[in-house]
Amino acid sequence: MIRRPAAVLLALVAGGGLAACSSTHVPKAGAEVVATAAPRAAGSVAPMAASKPVRVRIPAASVDASPVLDLGLAEDGTVQVPSVAQAERIGWYDKGVTPGEIGPAVLIGHYDTVEGPAVLKDVEKIKVGDPIVVDRADGSTATFTVRELEQVDKKHFPTRKVYGNTRRPELRVITCGGALRDGHRPDNIVVYADLTAGPRP
């Protein structure tokens, strides 16, 4: 896998929030999270070699999703999202690193769609300190610990914070949130997590 420089990624995904989140079913009020953060964990875990994610487990949100979709960029330059038919699956942004490599690996899933609740319907149950477990194609498992949650207006999506270079393996999980406006959710919810268990040298 070719790792693209952060400058290239940021140019590709400028304004890179999730645009395709809409609902016409009788919805929940909409995911809302309180912005919370914790210090980075002391010490470090050795980064892992590249290997695609194949399964994502977030016990706090009752997520156990496989296989994982490969997502790139849409024609308008925004990040792809799973289709309505794939609402129960998680996607991995394949222009970035794989989970466990140095850098921010990005996972994307729907909160809901026109068909109803989706894979991240319980995102508001995720708290700082919760685990996110990613099984990888090479048979290894990367375990991340949630460090921060934030809810942001899509018009002010923190592209550099989400997609910019990091010095250690990190993970982002992105979905939509907020009360419906004209059939669309106006916000993105971003979960930030650090690799806390994986192969050591």
Query: Which domains can be identified in the chain, with CATH numbers?
Result: 6-197 (2.40.260.10)
Q: pLDDT tens digits for 89-138?
A: 999 999 999 999 999 999 999 999 989 999 999 999 999 999 999 999 99
Q: Is 187 helix (H, G, I), strand (E, B) or coil?
A: strand
pLDDT at 17: 65
| Average pLDDT of span 56-73 | 97
What value does the CA radius of gyration of the chain take, rounded to a whole number of Å? 16
Could you tell me which residues come within 8 angstroms of residue 106 by beta carbon, excluding any fewer than 6 positions away?
79, 92, 93, 96, 162, 163, 171, 172, 174
pTM for this prediction:
0.84
Q: Which residue has the higher pLDDT, 138 or 178?
A: 138
| Average pLDDT of span 152-170 | 94
